[in-house]
Chain A
Amino acid sequence: GENVEQHPSTLSVQEGDSAVIKCTYSDSASNYFPWYKQELGKRPQLIIDIRSNVGEKKDQRIAVTLNKTAKHFSLHITETQPEDSAVYFCAASSWNAGNMLTFGGGTRLMVKP
C-alpha cells in the first residue's frame, strides 16, 4: 500500500519567516494530495489540496508544490503568524491502494512572536 513520510516532525520559525514541510509518497499512482491543519485540542481540517495534474497551487499565504517524478510534495507558508502554530498533516490517495487516504506522521509548527 501507500506509504507517506513527512519531514520535519517539528519546525520552529520566527514570525514573518517562511516555513516548508515536505512529504514523500511511495505509490506512483497516487493522484490526490491534501494538507490538514490541526490546532491544539481540535480536529484536523483541510487547508489546501492538489491533484496530480497540477504542479503548484496557491491560496493566500499557503502554497503546495508537487513533483510527480520525485514523488514528493511540499507545503509552503509565507509570512508566518503565531496563529499558524499547529500540527500539519500531509496525505495521499491512490487507486492502487483501494483509493485509501494515507496520512503522514505530522509536523508540529511553532511560530515564535
Chain B
Amino acid sequence: DAGITQSPRYKITETGRQVTLMCHQTWSHSYMFWYRQDLGHGLRLIYYSAAADITDKGEVPDGYVVSRSKTENFPLTLESATRSQTSVYFCATWTGKNTEAFFGQGTRLTVV
C-alpha cells in the first residue's frame, strides 16, 4: 500500500538499551522528519532529512541518531534509552513543494 508506515507501533524497552524506530514511505518524498510528542505537548523536531544521505539536527537531537541511505527509509535510533525519552514518536514526509506533509501512525515508546 502507498503511504508512510512506522514500526513498531508500541515498544517497551529498558533504560540503557538501544532501540530503533523505523519509518518507511512509498512516495519518494524528498523530506522526512522525526518528531516527538510528549503528553499534552506539541511536536518537537528531533532530526530531519532533505534527501538521501542528507540529515540535520532539529530542536531536540541529543540521544538520537538517524540515517538515510535510501530515500524511502529514515530510521531513528536511541543509542542508550533513558526514561526521559518515553514519548510518542511521529515520522513525517513532505515533498518540500508547499504541499501536504504526511504523518505516520506514531510509535508509542516507553522506557522503563
Contacts and interface: CB of A to CB of B under 8 A. Distances in A.
Given A43-B106, A44-B90, A106 B42 contact: yes
Nearest to A45: B103
A51 B98 CA distance: 8
Nearest to B96: A99
B12 interface: no
B48 interface: yes
B100 interface: yes
Interface residues of B, number: 21
A104 B106 CA distance: 19
Contacts of B103: 43-45
Contacts of B104: 43
Contacts of B98: 31-32, 49, 51, 93
B96 A89 contact: no
B50 A106 contact: no
Interface string B81-112: 00000000010001010101101111000000
A101 B106 contact: no
Nearest to A46: B100
Nearest to A106: B42
Instruction: List the 8 shortest-distance A-B pairs measured between CB atoms, nearest first.
Output: A32-B98, A106-B42, A43-B103, A105-B42, A46-B100, A99-B96, A103-B43, A44-B103
Given A49-B100, A99-B31, A108-B40, 6 more contacts: A31-B98, A34-B100, A43-B90, A43-B103, A44-B43, A101-B33
Interface of B: 31, 33, 35, 40-43, 45, 48, 50, 56, 90, 94, 96, 98, 100-101, 103-106
